[in-house]
Amino acid sequence: MPDRGARSTRAGVATAAVVTALAALLLLATNQPAGAWNLSLVDSVTVSAAVVRVADLARGSIPPAAAAVVVMPAGKPGQSSTVERQLILRRLVSAGQASGVSFRGAEICQVLYGGLRLNSGALSGRVHDCVAVLLPPALPEAPPTWWVVELPDLDLAVAGDWEVALAEPRRLQPGRNLVPLQVGDGRHNYRFSAKVTVHAFGEIAQTVGRIARDTSLRPEQMAWEWCDLATVASGLVVGRDEVTGCSAARELSAGQPLRKADLKPTPLILAGQPIELRIGRGRVAVAVRAVARQPGQLGQIISVRNELTGRLVTARVAGPGLVEWSR
């Protein structure tokens, strides 16, 4: 009987201890706020996205809504920033996600912005291809056009995929051009200008023989040669179409390059030339004979004498040997 009583006493003591421990655990659970969670900051992290979120700075899992809170925009690749607990807490409070949070780990997190650094060598090929759409169209039978790109000293940083785009597309001219460009990676755009030298070819003319002043010019009077327009002097006549409808502005010697200053428009009407004067009034028009008192180009207003009345009038040149006058 005594042994049985002792065993009962020991069992009662053990049961009481278990109940006490459970009560203590229940008390601790009761003191822990509902929905509490820990945010343990890492010492350092590399971020390649456009923004820095709480999830980037946390060690371990945290509530999804809090993880998605934006702490700050990301900086340029290769740069770094420091983030303190106070800043993160302010962002969580603003987003309504600070309830129950307890901070652990580092006091300050070092954030490094990842990406790729680009120099002029890395950009050169893409810029070369990018400006190709701006080249002047090659003339039939002309040698192929080629171009050279010169970039300034650049040290750009990009994150992820990047591309080169034309900032202000406009047709390039033979010779040197300044082309505005930009490099973008979806986060940042960097603008710069490249020097693009276009080696396009055109026909340059030389006179075959002497040409008197005021002589109407024809392409057959010239010797034509394909030349790189990036290397020729400015002011030269380029292309056979430029001499069409023109006369020599001065006497031209044989073998000299033809310049734009050597040309002047060939008059459709010459001074003293008999012409037709078309007189219009409303829907009625009559034509009479007249004499031009001065030369004139198409659309130019010149003085003419009406042979029927002897009266001087000013009329518009409408074509070879034809002027019009509206009353």
pLDDT of residue 159: 74
pTM (2 decimals)? 0.60
Report residue 203 as tokens.
């026909």
Tokens found for residue 55: 């999830």
Considering the chain, what is the average pLDDT of its residues? Answer: 87
Q: What is the fold of 201-265?
A: Type Iii Antifreeze Protein Isoform Hplc 12 (3.90.1210)
Residue 155 φ/ψ, nearest 5 degrees: -145, 80
Q: Which fold has domain 274-326?
A: SH3 type barrels. (2.30.30)
Rg (CA), the chain: 44
Q: In the chain, which residue ranges form alpha helices assigned H by DSSP?
A: 2-31, 54-57, 64-67, 85-94, 120-130
> How many CB atoms are closer than 10 A to CB 201?
21
Q: How far apart are CA 317 and CA 263, in angstroms?
A: 21
Closest to 138 (Cα-Cα) out of 93, 208, 227, 201: 201
pLDDT digits (tens, 9 = 90+) for 284-311: 889 999 999 999 888 899 999 999 899 9
Confidence (pLDDT) at 92:
96
For 45-94, the pLDDT digits (tens) are: 998 777 899 999 999 999 999 999 999 998 877 789 999 999 999 999 99
The full set of domain ranges for the chain reads 1-32, 37-114, 117-197, 201-265, 274-326
pLDDT of residue 10: 53
Q: 86-138 pLDDT, tens per residue?
A: 999 999 999 999 999 999 999 999 999 877 778 788 889 999 999 999 999 98
Q: Which residue, 48, 45, 46, is CA-closest to 188?
A: 48
Whether domain 37-114 has CATH 3.50.50.60: the reply is no
Q: Write the DSSP assignment of 174-215 as a string of letters.
A: SEEEEEEEEEE-SS-EEEEEEEEEEE-EEEEEEESS-B-TTP
- Mean pLDDT, residues 170-198: 92
pLDDT at 185: 82
Please check whether residue 67 is in contact with residue 85, taking contact to mean a CB–CB distance below 8 angstroms: no
Task: Look at residue 76 in the predicted model and tell me its pLDDT.
Answer: 78
Per-residue pLDDT reduced to its tens digit, 220-269: 999 999 999 999 999 999 999 999 889 999 999 999 999 999 999 888 88
The values of phi and psi at residue 50, to 5°, are -75, -20
Residue 100 CB neighbour total at 10 angstroms: 14
8 Å CB contact between 266 and 296: no
CA–CA dist 96, 231 (Å, integer) = 68
Which residues have C-beta within 8 Å of that of residue 160, sequence separation ≥ 6? 48, 115, 185, 186
Q: Which two tokens stand for residue 78?
A: 């290769």
Let me know: does 186 contact 212? Beta carbons within 8 Å: no
Element holding 10 (H helix, E strand)? helix 2-31
- Backbone phi and psi for residue 202, each to the nearest 5 degrees, phi listed first: -140, 165
Mean pLDDT of 17-27: 41
